[in-house]
Amino acid sequence: MPTADPLFSLAGKTALVTGGGSGIGAMIAAGLVRRGVRTYITGRDPAAIADFAGQLAQGGGQCIGLAAELAGDDGAARLAAQVAEREPALHVLVNNAGANAGGSLAETTPAEWDLVMNVNVRAAFFLSRELLPQLKAAAREDDPARIINVGSIGGLHIPNWEAHAYNTSKAAIHHLTRSLCKSLGRDRITVNAIAPGPFPSRLTDTGSEAVKKSVATYVPLGRPGSPDDVEGAVVFLASRAGAYVNGTTIPLDGGYIAAL
């Protein structure tokens, strides 16, 4: 249900969450739908993303699934066109879709490197650019349109395991956040990022003994992130409460980075 507090109200707005069919993207999308936001989510499988959108809308909200392949050269443009066909204005763009590549320095292939960079960085840049007409149409002096990029604590420090392509891509998305902030502020569009630590997702099995041990050792709060945690951060950044926050990356990690 939409909140009664106008500082945090999002009712009546429209949002796009890329990669909204699973993990952190699904957590964000579910929170937006509950708050009365007409929410578009993307995934590579048309049937699967349409089915999940239907599940999120069961409580009476609005959620629409769009098929998108953001690794391709024209993936961002194709997705932007789908949104533009349906919506003249877009209040919130969440660039969440992500790819990962395991392996050491010696094992990472050029194809894996390119996939991670294309999905994690290039798609976010070009999707933001292609949707500028819709974002500008939604922007107001006291309530800007919002771009929220999903980075990672892997882009804020070097972990004890090798994830060269992923961590580099997340550091790049944090820097892109600052770069776009400087460019788009005059259009009343804010650009911020969140940098999640361990959250349950297809990239992080928070139920595994290794992750449990890591969380207990390195996260001062002693637990992984929850859906409420990421939902709260995004609602803050997307609502009037966060309208003057711009160009920042918020570690969403229970204190992991602060305690290093």
Among the listed residues 191, 201, 155, the one whose alpha carbon sits nearest the alpha carbon of residue 25: 201
Asked whether residue 208 carries a pLDDT value surpassing 80, the answer given is: no
d(CA 239, CA 51): 28
Per-residue pLDDT tens for 135-184?
999 999 999 999 999 999 999 999 888 999 999 999 999 999 999 999 99
Helices (H), ranges, 89-208: 110-117, 123-130, 132-138, 164-184
Asked whether residue 107 carries a pLDDT value surpassing 70, the answer given is: yes
Provide the CA 6 distance to its chain's centre, in angstroms: 23
Among the listed residues 128, 238, 240, the one whose alpha carbon sits nearest the alpha carbon of residue 187: 128
User: Which one of the listed residues 40, 166, 218, 256 is annotated catalytic?
Assistant: 166
Predicted local confidence at residue 204, as pLDDT: 64
Could you tell me what percent of the chain has a pLDDT over 70? 96
Per-residue pLDDT tens for 32-43?
999 999 999 999
C-alpha to C-alpha distances, 159 to 149, 216, 248, nearest whole angstrom: 21, 16, 22
Based on the residue annotation, tell me whether 218 is a catalytic residue of this protein. Answer: no
What CATH code is assigned to 14-214+224-252? 3.40.50.720
Predicted local confidence at residue 2, as pLDDT: 47
Cα Rg of the chain (Å, integer): 17
Domain boundaries, the chain: 14-214+224-252
Residues 6 or more apart in contact with residue 197 via CB below 8 angstroms: 153, 219, 224, 225, 251, 252, 253, 254, 256, 257
Beta-carbon count within 10 A of 102 CB: 12
What's the whole-number mean pLDDT along residues 45-55?
A: 98
Q: For residues 15, 35, 22 and 255, what is the CA-based torsion angle, rounded to 10 degrees? A: 100
d(CA 28, CA 97): 12
Asked whether residue 1 carries a pLDDT value surpassing 50, the answer given is: no
Asked whether residue 52 carries a pLDDT value surpassing 80, the answer given is: yes
pTM of model > 0.85: yes
